[in-house]
Amino acid sequence: MRYLVTGGAGFIGSNFVRHLLAARPDCEVINLDALTYAGHLESLMDVADDPRHRFVHGDICDTGTVRREMRGVEIVFHLAAESHVDRSIVEDAPFIRTNVMGTATLLSAALDAGVRRFVQVSTDEVYGELPWRDPAQGSHDAPRFTERTPLAPRSPYSASKAAGDHIALAYHTTHGLDVVVTRCSNNYGPYQYPEKLIPLMITRALCDEPLPVYGDGLHVRDWIHVRDHCEGLLAAAERGRAGEVYNFGGAEERTNLSVVHDILAILEKPRTLVRHVEDRPGHDRRYAIDATRARTELGWSPAVRFAEGLRDTVAWYLGNQAWCASVAPSASARSYR
């Protein structure tokens, strides 16, 4: 089977390409990536010589490239996106171009090429925010995002992703294109660009640099290991219902501050490295995912517990500091999602 993966040189994309090649030995993967600041061929070195994987350096907004590479494709996994909230606040145009116009370009080409299924990979941020709840006090009865939660994006990034979701589902309703939308909570794991919370804190702590934490640090996120997310994407492609949305979450709610403290504990660094900085505009207080539909319809459930996954992630960054220096020599000066 021939797959097209967009954004396959990024964090989730490179992990997914690797997962797809391992899980489906007879597959052919076309990896289309523009290699912007967060996409790097260094993240694909272990599959660079795999004859089943073909990398294409191209822009998803380039109609000619997209239509050429869409020929003969059976399933599209659309992971290419501008995804950093802070960057979207400073300049939103690249987010609208990639996440909206790029998605529309891909959908049009997929329809004309007779693609069997289009998986639109989105984010829980399109739902907005939930009432704050201290994860340490238990949150089993606290509200979570379901697939029926109305979309209420609160940043240019999440608004652009919501627009892409709407266009994808409209292609299903209007044109009959088989579309499945997935929305996932915060990912972590290897090959994540070091501007996001976990790799940023790891790389800064290793250098004994101050760790910038927005506001009071009590913003709550539901964390999922990228490996579990990859399992979910493949399950959605193979067992999901056309025109439906599937949420993926790790059921691992943590405050940002507690995550930072956990990283410092693993690295045996002092909490005095933490520096609370001015909060960013419109910073959502809490996200949490109800993944019941994915469990019941797809047979999917997260396997990696956060404590284990975080230790493995810290160990990966410790063992791959050359990768960090290569892909993001100045990323530690930036903040996180």
- Tens-digit pLDDT profile for residues 268-311: 999 999 999 999 898 999 999 999 999 999 999 999 999 999 99
In which domain, by residue range, is 194 found?
Answer: 2-333
Catalytic residue among 69, 82, 125, 195: 125
Is residue 326's pLDDT more than 90? no
Catalytic residue among 124, 222, 231, 253: 124
Q: What is the pLDDT of residue 329?
A: 64
Residue 316, CA distances (Å) to 16, 143, 224, 254 in order:
17, 34, 16, 21
Is 74 noted as a catalytic residue in this protein? no
CATH at 12 = 3.40.50.720
- The stretch 128-156 carries a mean pLDDT of 89
pTM of the predicted model, to two decimals?
0.95
Nearby residues of 283 by Cβ (< 8 Å), 6 or more positions away: 214, 215, 219
Is 124 noted as a catalytic residue in this protein? yes
Backbone angles phi, psi at 265, to 5 degrees: -65, -45
Nearest-angstrom CA–CA distance, 266 and 251: 22
Number of domains in the chain: 1
Catalytic residue among 3, 157, 188, 336: 157
SS3 state of residue 78: strand
- From 134-148, 225-239, 280-294, 308-322, the region with the lowest mean pLDDT: 134-148
